[in-house]
Amino acid sequence: MQRAELRQLMERLADGDRAAFGPAFALLWPRLRAFAVRCLGAADGEDAAQAALLKVFACASQYDRGRDPLPWALGITAWECRTLRRRRERRREEGLSGSPELPGAALSPEQTVIDRALLAAAEEVLGTLRPIDVDTIISIGSGRRSVEGATFRKRAERALARFRLAWRARHGSD
């Protein structure tokens, strides 16, 4: 993905240029969809990615030009995944839905190997972080938190920033 191009497109969208919508969509959709599908599985991942894209484009006027748009969009996608997962858990508790689709249930053998390699690389990087950062990052995915609100959001922001730095130092890219 061309991050500089995406940044320019998001800046154009922030300025109200609707012609930038199509190219921005073409750059964002594959990344956000892949991220959401890894988090939730195929059906729910598609839904979460679509909802995230709607929010990204609805909030385009609020885009901070000093920041990279991809992490911003991925953050919105992660929030949508969390929201969808919690909604599904509430339905399960209320007995309104059957068993959820397991993420990765229909993955090819090649994708399974790739996912395992990525997971091993992420675990390796997690091993270099402070325990509180590791606990915070794990709690992002599990939804179980020792603290809530602004305290958790700030801890998560800092832990993810440290993770990104460690990842870049070890693997050279996002």
pLDDT at 99: 46
Mean of pLDDT values over 7-18: 88
For residues 151 and 105, give the distance between their C-alpha atoms in angstroms, rounded to a whole number: 35
CA distance readout (Å), 166 to 127, 137, 151, 152, 170: 10, 14, 23, 21, 6
- The domain of 121 spans 107-174
Total structural domains in the chain?
2
DSSP 19: G
Residues 18 and 45 in one domain: yes
The pLDDT tens digits for 30-85 are 999 999 998 888 888 888 999 999 988 888 888 888 888 888 888 889 989 888 88
- Answer yes or no: are the C-beta atoms of 47 and 88 closer than 8 Å: no
Task: Give the DSSP per-residue string, 101-116.
Answer: PPTTTT--HHHHHHHH
The pLDDT tens digits for 114-141 are 888 888 888 888 888 888 888 888 887 7
Residues 44 and 28 in one domain: yes
Full-prediction pTM beyond 0.85? Answer: no
Residues 97 and 140 in one domain: no
Supply the CATH number for residue 73's domain: 1.10.1740.10
Residue 83: how many CA atoms within 13 Å on its side-chain side?
11
DSSP 67: S
